[in-house]
Structure 1
Amino acid sequence: MNRSLLLVVCDFLLLSILALARFDVPEGAIMAKDDQKVVSKEVIERISDGENYDDVVAELEATNETLLENLSSDKDALQAQKEELEAQILERQKELEAKEQEIASRDEVIADNEQVIAQAQEEAAELARQREEIAKKREDLLQSNAASKKELELLAKNLEEAKNKQEELSRLKEKKEKEAESMKVELAATIEKAKAEEKAADEAKALLFEEKKRSDAIVASTEKIDQKIDSLNQGLQGVGNDLREVGEGLAGVGEKISSVTQEVSSVKEDVSKVGQEVSGVKATVAVVSEEVSGVGSKVENIKKEVEETAAVQKENFAKLNERQRQSLNEIFTKYEQNKVQLDLEFTHKGGFLGADKTEKFSMDSIILADDSFAYTLVHSKDSPFRLQPKSRSLVSVKGEISGNKLKNPIPVREIAFMDDPRIIIIPLYINPKNLVETTDMEIFSAPANPYLFSEAVVVDSKESRFGQTSFVRDEKDSRYIKVEHSNFAFLTGKFDPAKSDLVFSQKGELLGIMVNNDYAFHVKNLGSRLHSGSRTVLGDAFEAQKTNTLLSSLSKKLFGLKNKFR
């Protein structure tokens, strides 16, 4: 409400009050009648005090006239003011009507805006809720900010460590660059060596080509000899026909002797002639026999030459095959297609308060053969026969070996420990030749020349990962080979050998089994490397007390190995 409207309302209220006002005469008041004058008590008191009545009356009349004049002037002023106020009231009423119309229109606008106000209230409530959520999020952010500060401190610490590692990696990089330079020199020497080997291979190919020509010449001469033998056979067949004719002639002579006794003399002559002819035939047969024996000796000589040539060619092929390496993928594919799974079920005292607990152990491996002896090798890690961190107190153990290419599982009858007690050998008691004939499984073997190549293929049997690395035999202990190990494989993502991984030569033969991250148990001379008294029978004949005592002694023996082999 503006100021003008307030003024109009106040004027209207004042006029209403004046119009409705009633001036009541006080009770007990004396009213003047018929030009009587009413003298107040104060005047009487003044007269009683000795003042002149006329003076007092004159004073009062003068005062009365003054009051009348004032009243008249006030009345005129009030009348003028009244008229002015009435005019203002009319004007204000018009303004009031206009304002009422404006208020009505505004009421309509307000009514129209009530929905907007309600929506605004809802939005205000939503904003209040969002404000509460923002307050909660602010608290969460404060908490996360504190955690972020801690993480920032940790990141700063990690950054410092990363810087240190970066410096170490820089030093390692410099070292590797130097090693790379030396490796380049070695690579150049290796390339020269490879070229020499390639030249030798070319010479071997040329030699094989010459041998092939010689073999072709021998085969051609053999064909000629076969033709000559065929012609001799035909000649012998003709001699046989002549002998048959002679026999027929002799039969005719016998008939003539028996029927005609008179012609004895002539028959004797004929017989003597026939005898001469027979002796001539015998001489011819003897000559033919000598020729046949000569041909036979020549055939034997040719056969010997052919056998000697085939042996030389076979030896040359064996030498070439010995130096023929397989690719990384070929070796891993061969392993994947021919791997077997060792399953062991064992009971040990590992439950609550030493109660019996039954568990199962599974591990991928391969079947190896040494002549007619088939076996498999595994690392004792996580197996029932583990030695670290503490050997188990076994109650019973049984197991079997199965595979995709095996028709039936092979029961595990017994095991034995090698001179490195972490390596277990499992004899299979099957004929490897029969296994190859009845299945399409390939059986692995130990390399005859393990140091022919300087690189090896390492296979992680648990995660089916593989990689290539270099290796050397240990300078003091030939039972182990040292495999190159990367200290920062977790940063580069490069494959890194680990405990229980299988190490293959580049011909696909088993070199060894990793006993730690740096060294592998070398698979060679296994018969002389068995631990004495370590034979352990599984299944129903399992001896728990003997096995537990053996595991305890093997754990002590493990600590007797050099630190680098542990």
Structure 2
Amino acid sequence: MNKTLLLILCDFLLLNLIHFTAWDKLDKESESTRAQGGADKAGVMGDPTRDLELAAVRIKEREEDLKNQMASVAALRNALTSTQEEMGDEIAKQTRRAERAEGETEEERKRREDAEKGRDTTEAQRLAILKEFEKQQERAAEAKQEREELANNNKDLTNRISQLTASMGDLKLDLNNSVKQLNDEKAKVSDLSAELRAAEAIAEREKQAATAAKTEARAAQQVAAAANTRAATANAEAQAAKSNAQAQIAKVESMAEKRIQAANTIANTALKRVETAQAQVVATTKAKAQVEQALAATSAEKQELTKAVINEKQDKVIAQKAAQQLRDEIAKKIPDQPINANMMATLYSQNRVNLLTTAARTLSKPKKESNTILIEVLEYDPATRKSSPYIHAITHVRETPYRLAANALGWRESAASLSGPNTGAQPLHHVRFLRSDPRIVIAPVGPPDSPQVKALGVKPYKLAAKPFKFPKAFIMKRDGRSFGEVVFRMDPRNREYVKFDKSLVRSIMGDFSPSQGDLVFSQTGELLGIMANNRYCHVITGVSPAGAVVFGQHQSNSLAGTLAKMHALVKAKASELH
């Protein structure tokens, strides 16, 4: 009776296991996985489409295995059911036989025991079937576990698809940002085009200024020619005076000779008439004495004229020596005495050079051209362990294509050249940004006696040895057309700068207002500094560099990093100096 209950419980558990297994859910998950497996792009490395297809194939294979296992379980269940039915029938028969055999003989008990043995054999078969059923249950459990793993893999693939979708959204956002940056670059190109047009206008004005300078030079040459003409006239007058003196001497000598000849004639006549005119002898003697006196007077006059010519020559030599001495004394006194603004403008016009800087990157090839000057500074030479003079060109960074900014843009290549008033362009090797103020840029040229410096044909300016000796300074626009005189004062908080009061600016030529990049000279004709902004002038006392740009090919990112560092140094200064 207990074995019968055990069989009933096993059947019940088997039916529950088959009933509560989520076969439909697995089919739906497989279908949903196949539905989500579509992709917009072709499969690439790590493509989720391929993973979904592989998962779908594996799910199909597992479905086939599960179907086969379900078919096996169904067959086993049918076999078990039929066995149970047979066992039930056999048990019912045996039970009836047992009820009928209560009063039977011993022989019938033996037959009944044989029947029970047969029943034991049937129970052994049923146990074998149960073991096979347990194996099928274990296989079903493994299939369920694999199904759960496939479901988890499906979820992971779904999450990965979601991440890829989010990445596609980020890529679209990056694309929008790139489009925006491209539009910004186009705007910058427009701005650079405007700057180019402005630079061309400046170049045209510089050309006009050069024409005016040439006109002034021709006028100066005419003045010099007039001075030479006056000198030639003075020499001609001196020569005429000399010729006149020589003519007078010749005339006197001729008169003396004629008188001598006349006297000789008279003497001869007197000698011939000695015998007949004794009285005439005395007269002839007196006439001879008069002639001799005239000859003596003529000789004295000749000597006086000769002395006058010699004195005139000596006076001319003395005058030349005095003029040279006066010029030497004036040259020695210039460093200690102020010069006027007109002289300063003349010196600038004679000694300015032209700086041309070019750069290139995609969609932009600016060209910056401006007038500037050469400066002479002492630099320490480690090789000789001595300080020796060296010549640099100096300018403001705004006169170059380089822009100091936190997000500075680099250039693929750049170059620069320097030319004098009447000389060709000479290429430069590099530019340096001053450590004291990176907005001030210098370009090394060479020693004072080098061929490249001599070829420019201009005189370099020295740095002001006593920048605060005089309270005023000259401010010069780079084109040389406008300049003025201004009173400056020191700023205790910014000792490397002097502050200008615009209300105290006196315009000497043109409409003048100080602006960034203007050159500032001391009243002794030396370079004081360059305007860092509209109010402050950076006083230049040395040329120690904070960074440099070597001309030629560049790594854009590296150059941009250098410009950003220079911008950071400027931003670290007081706000009024920005």
TM over 0.5: no
Query: TM-score normalized by structure 2?
Result: 0.38
Query: TM-score normalized by structure 1?
Result: 0.39
Greater relative contact order (CA < 8 Å, ≥ 6 in sequence): 2
Larger radius of gyration: 1
